[in-house]
Each structure stands twice: as C-alpha cells, then as structure tokens.
Structure 1
Amino acid sequence: MQVRIIAVGKIKERFLSEGIAEYEKRLLPYLKLSIMEIAEERRGVHASGGQEQLVKDREGERVLAAIPDRAYVVALDVRGKEVSSEALATRMHDWQLAGTNSIAVIIGGDLGLSDAVLARAALWLSLSPMTFTHQMARLILLEQLYRACRINSGEPYHK
C-alpha cells in the first residue's frame, strides 16, 4: 500500500523531526510512505476572516494538485470521525482488500483545510477531541499508521 501524507507547512522543531524520521523508518517494512510538504500561505498576524479564507483556499489548491490520481483521500479535521487504533487498522485492511493501493492523508495548516479539500476527501478523520499543532499531528498520524500496520501483521504493539 502507498500512503502519501500531504501536509501544509514545514516541521520546525527538531524533536518532532526526529520522531517523524523514526516512524518513517519503522514504517518501511509495511508500506510505501511519502510525505509532501505544501508551502504555508503568508498572512498578517491580524488577518480578517476573509483573508484567512483566502489563505485556506490558496493552500487548498496546492494540496489538491498534490493528491495522486485515484487516491483514496483522508482529511484530518477536528470535525472528523474519531476511531480507535484497532478501527484504523481494520479500515486499512479493508482498503487493501478492496484493492485501494493509494491513500492520501491531508494535514492542513493552522487554519485547517479548505472546503474544496474537504469535499475531495472520502473520509474525515479526527485524531482526538484535543487540539494539536499541525506539526504534532504529523507525528501522531505516523505513530498510528505504524500501530495499525503492526496490528494488521499480527505483531505485538503497546496498548
């Protein structure tokens, strides 16, 4: 299975970069992973609601252009469905059984995702009812993908 994570913004904190690199390495035996960073749109500190919408729309255009053809699109969104690690593993297994070999997981910037990106997604997923930075969401997502792969391989994982 190929998983492309399309994320708005760069990872700036070293500790997050190191954690992301560790989970990228751990995922190598299980799936083909790629991470594409989309440039954040610049805006003023006190941007109006209209300016923020324009920022999301511009970032969204770049995100949509990065989605592979025929990919099953999962958008991380606070309004998305919350699932357990086991349920995520089951979904990934079901996608494989259905012949879905390309998954694109979208992580928006600090303003979230544009309506166009959300409309393109087949699934909206929430990592937690708590709020995380979009940089932390990338690390958490990778850990959960790794956990799901271990579950599906019948390997032990920490509960």
Structure 2
Amino acid sequence: MTLRVCAVGKIKEKFFKEALSEYGKRLFKYCKLEMIEVADEKTREGASSLEEQMVLDKEGKRLMEKIPERSFVIALAIKGKEMDSPELAKNMEKLFLEGKSDITFVIGGSLGLSEELYQRADLLLSFSRMTFPHQLMRVILLEQIYRSFRINSGEPYHK
C-alpha cells in the first residue's frame, strides 16, 4: 500500500525535518510513504483576490501533476469533515478493505487549495477550524496516520 503526502512548500526547519523523518521510519513497517513537495508561489502583501486565485491555481496545478489518476485523494481543508483518531483509523481501514491501496493526502499552501483540487478530492478532511502552518501540518498528519495504523493493528497508542 502506498501513502503519499503532496504539499506546497519546502520544509526548512531542522526540527520539522527530524519529526517527519522519525514518523517516516515508524510508518515504514505499515506502508510505502512518499513525501512530495511542490514549489509555492510568492503572494505579495495586499494581493487582490484575482492575484490570490492565480496563486491557488498555479500551486493547484503543481499538486495535481503529482497525484496518480488511480489514487484516492484526501485533501486537508478547514471546511472538511472533522474526525477523531479512531474515526480516521476506521476510515483508512475501510479504504484498504475496499482495495484502495494508493492514497494521496494533499496539503495546500498559505492560501489553501485550488477549486480543481477540491473537485479532485474524494474526501475533505479537517483537523480543526484553526489554521496551522503547512510545515507543522505535515508532522501532525504523519502522526495521525501512524496512530491510525497502530489502532488498526491493535497496538497500544497514547490516548
């Protein structure tokens, strides 16, 4: 099974890189994990809504190019469905049982996701109505994926 995280922007901070590396090692026994970064667009202060839309479209196109056609797409979005950890685990297990062995999680940039990505997504997932830096969101996402595998394997996890 392949899990892919496609995200806008590069991870620059050492502590985020170390956390992602640690969760990558932990997930190795459960799945093949791919971490894909696409370039972010600079958005000038006070950009118009048209300029912001152009940024979203450019970043969205870059992300779309990295998503395999057969992949089940879970887009992280504030307006998505909120789940607790056991619910996420149950949903992932259901996907695997349905034969969906290629799953792509998508994390947008500072402006969010393009309309094209919202349309492509099979599931919109919200971790909160709060806004998180996309670098931190990658760490949170990997931790929750790892937790889901632990739950589904009947292994202990922190509650």
TM over 0.5: yes
Aligned position for 1:40: 40
Q: How far off its partner does 1:41 sit?
A: 1.3
Secondary structure of the structure 2 residue equivalent to 1:110? coil
Give CA deviations for 1:95-131 in whole Å, capped at 9, x if unaligned.
1110000001000000000000010001000012222
Aligned position for 1:125: 125
What CA distance in whole angstroms lies between the structure 2 residues aligned with 1:64 and 1:129? 24
Aligned position for 2:68: 68
Q: Does 1:31 align with 2:23?
A: no
Give CA deviations for 1:23-51 in whole Å, capped at 9, x if unaligned.
01110001110010010012323321110
- What TM-score, normalized to structure 1? 0.97
Q: Which amino acid aligns with 1:12?
A: K
Q: Which amino acid aligns with 2:145?
A: L
Can you give the 5+ residue segments of structure 2 that lack an aligned partner in the other structure? none
Secondary structure of the structure 2 residue equivalent to 1:75? strand
What CA distance in whole angstroms lies between the structure 1 residues aligned with 2:46 and 2:18? 32
Aligned position for 2:84: 84
Aligned position for 2:5: 5
Can you give the 5+ residue segments of structure 1 that lack an aligned partner in the other structure? none
Give the percent of matched residue pairs that are identical in Structure 1 and Structure 2: 52
Q: Which amino acid aligns with 1:156?
A: P
Secondary structure of the structure 1 residue equivalent to 2:10? coil
What CA distance in whole angstroms lies between the structure 1 residues aligned with 2:108 and 2:15? 20
Change (3 A) 1:131 1:42: closer
Aligned positions of 1:88-107 closer than 5 A: 88-107=88-107
What CA distance in whole angstroms lies between the structure 2 residues aligned with 1:118 and 1:62? 14
Secondary structure of the structure 2 residue equivalent to 1:129? coil
Secondary structure of the structure 2 residue equivalent to 1:111? coil
- What TM-score, normalized to structure 2? 0.97
Secondary structure of the structure 2 residue equivalent to 1:60? helix
Q: How far off its partner does 1:10 sit?
A: 0.6
